[in-house]
């Protein structure tokens, strides 16, 4: 009889070289048995040997695991048996066996140091080969069609191994041992260059092709570069003319910032400030875009990020990026998404060439992108004494990593659709919530179909069907009006609508594992969300259990004259807020200098004031929005008079104001609030008389900082009162406006002084990209008998 152990593990144990790691460890310890993928159930290891050696094997499985490996369950069963294994082998994968938990792929991983060294070596097959990868790096989510993660289940099945790659793949001493994306110049995908006339330009090597493209970019050309999960447009970061041309060609990119890629950290530090947290994340295997504050030596064109205090920067994460920047004299390059706003990323070569008729050259490869995956965008805020990671977009580098819930829905599977803007649907299976990649704003049929495809892919990966769907109660969102069609497509009978801002708060509770039986205070601060009373909410205060939140406060209600026109031209909202305090004649006198920023000037100003004087606006034009209030302040101070991308006036207000962080001589401004029968109201319109009184004595930046600080301070005072009155210690803050570092820092500092526990989003976006997580969590609580 011999000792045998069966080990069942789940977590990130596929797509990271886990089976090769187990194989080599077993061989090193002279153990016999096998290791086998079990699809989404994990990995099974059966091994025989002496008790002492098996114990050492188990210990080293935990201590020496691959760098991307995460164990979520690790179950060891000891047995004795008379049957003997003759060797140790990697068994054929199975999708039928049952494991002990839930396993998932790692995200797409940036190229590793070893593969980069080969890229720069003299090794014939992989020197200057852009698709070089190994067991530790390369695409994962974007290339897999189904689990288990084996080459036939990925797009790499289109590229059969050459004899040498086959040897690498089978060699247990090679770091490409069972690496599914293994390839080389002899058998793998390659890049080609096409002119604007769709004529292929021939080159002797991949390096010569890159040298050509690098020179063209520096000469002022725009190049479409197909990458891991989509297509970028690349151009110079120094050439005003080409940047303006690109903005005009892309349509709705009048001032919206472009992301850029820098050769290395030293290059980035020449134009941006970089703290330790930002540098750690920037250089991680995830390689996100990080919004970095410009420094005093900023030298890039103003047209990279017009009117902003920061710039979105990332490091190279694919072989083609390193090769390109190595050949460029300029150490930075614009890398912005090729697709128009609200349209899915271009991934098909034919579509790329047809849709981008303004491009000078196309640098395209012949590997299929099975799933689109946009670059993740992050901002690091200082909240009180600590740094806080804030997602503006959670996608490449994170998807499909799940979030862990404090409750388990067992064998059920739920889908959270999200809202409409920045859509990221989520799937809940057991105690795991798996957000998809970033989809975008679902107002076009193409984006709607992309959303359905992403949901279908997640379901296929985890071999499950949906039992119930959570969605936003807004009656005009495409995701809401089409909910019956969505349910029919996935054969779902039950759908549940949830309020937008309550879902924001629930997302914070989920990721911070707040006890669902404890009451919370929630601050939901954003631009737009459909309220339970049919008006547009956006500055909301809730108390209660996550499953039964009650609205106990909000910003004072005001009108959005013209609805969406008030969003585009914030002076309209300013006029509305001023009308709460001033007569029509006084109002016209105050706003007259700003009338030139309305399309029809003075005539439009007078028309708006007449509308306001008459009143009787429909519910959909009434709001308590924090975002629109900040837009109005931006307009009043002359910072931004037209929104050319979402949140622009408020973003530029914050950016200009941040220069006053250390200024102790700011104007003393305050925003009063009232409490009528237990309902708090923050009277934001009452700041304007004081603001008008001091505006000639202070700079725009000083006034802007003081207003935002006053806004945060008043919210903190209301929250503190509620906390003391109701005995609630947990404060949850979410919504797009919670990205504003001035406001959120003021709230956190004031509440921390009173020993309150403040929680914010750090694992999903506090904006609408995190809504589906909150929806699905509320659905799980609602369906549970315990809450």
Intra-chain end-to-end CA distance of the chain, in Å: 51
Q: Is cis: bond before 400, omega within 30 of 0?
A: yes
Cα dihedral 185→189→192→198 (10° resolution): 150
For residue 312, the 8-state DSSP code is E
Sheet of strand 426-429: strand arrangement: 403-404, 432-435, 426-429, 413-416, 468-472, 494-498
The helix (run of H) or strand (run of E) holding residue 528 is strand 520-530
Count the neighbouring beta carbons within 10 Å of the beta carbon of residue 624. Answer: 26
Which residue among 3, 24, 34, 37 is the active-site one? Answer: 37
Helices (H), 436-477: 445-461
Which residue among 19, 140, 379, 713 is the active-site one? Answer: 19
Q: Is 616 a catalytic residue?
A: no
For residue 592, the 8-state DSSP code is G
| Strand, coil or helix: 270 | coil
Strands (DSSP E) contained in 263-412 are: 289-293, 310-314, 332-337, 361-365, 377-383, 386-393, 403-404
φ, ψ of residue 497 in degrees (nearest 5): -90, 140
Which of these, 309, 163, 275, lies nearest to 742 by C-alpha position?
A: 309
Q: Is 37 a catalytic residue?
A: yes
d(CA 577, CA 587): 10
d(CA 193, CA 216): 12
| Strand, coil or helix: 14 | coil
Q: What share of the chain is helix, strand, coil (3-state, %, to 5)?
A: 35, 20, 40
> Residues 546, 759: contact at Cβ < 8 Å?
no
Residues 259, 265, 269: CA angle, nearest 5 degrees: 80
Contacts of 676 (CB under 8 A, 6+ apart): none
d(CA 89, CA 491): 41
The helix (run of H) or strand (run of E) holding residue 18 is helix 18-28
Query: In angstroms, what CA-CA distances link 552 with 83, 497, 549, 677, 718?
Result: 68, 21, 9, 10, 10
Count the neighbouring beta carbons within 10 Å of the beta carbon of residue 617. Answer: 18
* Residue with the two structure tokens 């040498």: 164
Cα dihedral 358→441→475→409 (10° resolution): 150
d(CA 58, CA 325): 44
Contacts of 394 (CB under 8 A, 6+ apart): 376, 424, 435, 438, 764, 765, 769, 770
d(CA 749, CA 475): 38
d(CA 767, CA 441): 12
The catalytic site residues sit at 19, 37
């Amino acid at each position: 009889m011999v000792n045998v152990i069966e080990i069942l593990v789940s977590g990130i144990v596929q797509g990271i070289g886990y089976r090769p790691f187990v194989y080599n460890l077993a061989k090193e310890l002279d153990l016999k048995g096998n290791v086998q993928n079990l699809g989404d159930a994990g990995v099974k290891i059966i091994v025989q040997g002496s008790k002492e050696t098996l114990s050492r094997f188990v210990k080293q499985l935990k201590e020496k695991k691959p760098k991307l490996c995460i164990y979520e369950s690790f179950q060891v069963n000891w047995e004795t048996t008379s049957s003997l294994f003759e060797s140790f082998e990697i068994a054929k994968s199975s999708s039928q066996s049952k494991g002990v938990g839930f396993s998932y792929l790692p995200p797409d991983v940036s190229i590793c140091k070893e593969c980069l060294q080969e890229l720069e070596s003299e090794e014939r097959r992989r020197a200057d080969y852009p698709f070089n990868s190994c067991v530790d790096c390369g695409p994962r989510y974007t290339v897999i069609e189904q689990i288990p993660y084996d080459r036939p289940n990925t797009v790499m099945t289109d590229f059969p191994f050459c004899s040498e790659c086959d040897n690498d793949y089978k060699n247990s001493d090679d770091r490409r041992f069972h690496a599914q994306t293994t390839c080389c110049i002899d058998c793998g995908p390659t890049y080609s260059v096409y002119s604007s006339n769709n004529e292929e330009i021939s080159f002797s090597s991949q390096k010569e092709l890159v040298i050509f493209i690098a020179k063209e970019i520096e000469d002022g050309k725009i190049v479409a570069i197909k990458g891991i999960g989509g297509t970028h447009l690349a151009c110079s970061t120094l050439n005003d003319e080409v940047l303006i041309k690109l903005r005009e060609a892309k349509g709705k990119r009048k001032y919206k910032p472009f992301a850029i890629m820098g050769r290395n950290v030293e290059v980035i530090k020449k134009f941006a400030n970089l703290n330790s947290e930002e540098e750690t994340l920037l250089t991680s295997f995830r390689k996100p875009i990080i919004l970095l504050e410009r420094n005093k030596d900023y030298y890039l064109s103003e047209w990279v990020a017009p009117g902003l205090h920061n710039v979105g920067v990332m490091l190279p994460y694919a072989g083609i990026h390193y090769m390109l920047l190595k050949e460029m004299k300029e150490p930075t390059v614009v890398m912005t998404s090729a697709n128009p706003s609200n349209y899915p990323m271009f991934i098909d070569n034919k579509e790329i060439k047809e849709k981008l008729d303004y491009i000078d050259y196309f640098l395209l490869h012949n590997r299929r992108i099975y799933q689109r995956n946009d670059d993740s965008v992050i901002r690091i805020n200082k909240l009180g004494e600590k740094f806080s990671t804030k997602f503006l977009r959670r996608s490449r580098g994170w998807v499909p990593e799940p979030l862990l819930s404090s409750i388990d829905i067992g064998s059920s599977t739920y889908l959270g659709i999200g809202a409409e803007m920045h859509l990221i649907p989520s799937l809940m299976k057991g105690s795991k919530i798996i957000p998809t990649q970033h989809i975008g704003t679902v107002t076009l049929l193409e984006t709607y179909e992309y959303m359905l495809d992403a949901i279908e892919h997640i379901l296929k990966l985890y071999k499950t069907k949906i039992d119930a769907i959570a969605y936003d109660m807004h009656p005009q969102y495409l995701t809401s009006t089409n909910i019956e069609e969505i349910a029919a497509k996935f054969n779902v009978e039950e759908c549940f609508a949830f309020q937008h801002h309550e879902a924001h708060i629930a997302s914070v509770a989920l990721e911070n594992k707040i006890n669902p039986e404890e009451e919370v205070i929630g601050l939901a601060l954003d631009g737009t969300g459909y309220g339970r009373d049919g008006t547009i909410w956006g500055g909301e205060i809730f108390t209660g259990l996550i499953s039964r939140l009650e609205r106990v406060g909000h910003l004072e209600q005001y009108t959005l004259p013209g609805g969406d026109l008030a969003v585009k031209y914030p002076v309209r909202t300013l006029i509305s807020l001023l009308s709460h305090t001033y007569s029509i004649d006084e109002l016209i006198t105050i706003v007259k200098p700003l009338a030139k920023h309305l399309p029809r000037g003075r005539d439009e100003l007078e028309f708006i004031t007449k509308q306001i004087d008459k009143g009787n606006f429909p519910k959909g034009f009434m709001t308590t929005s924090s975002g629109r209030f900040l837009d109005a302040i931006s307009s009043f101070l002359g910072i931004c008079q037209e929104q050319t991308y979402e949140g622009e006036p408020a973003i530029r207000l914050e950016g200009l104001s941040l220069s006053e962080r250390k200024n102790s001589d700011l104007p003393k401004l305050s925003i009063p609030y009232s409490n009528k029968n237990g309902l708090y109201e923050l009277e934001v319109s009452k700041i304007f008389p004081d603001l008008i009184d001091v505006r000639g004595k202070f700079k725009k930046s000083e006034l802007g900082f003081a207003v935002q600080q006053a806004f945060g301070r008043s919210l903190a005072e209301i929250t503190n009162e509620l906390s003391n009155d109701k005995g609630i210690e947990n404060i949850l803050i979410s919504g797009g406006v919670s990205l504003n570092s001035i406001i959120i820092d003021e709230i956190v500092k004031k509440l921390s002084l009173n020993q309150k526990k403040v929680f914010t989003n750090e694992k999903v976006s506090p904006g609408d990209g995190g809504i589906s997580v909150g929806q699905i969590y509320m659905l799980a609580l609602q369906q549970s008998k315990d809450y």
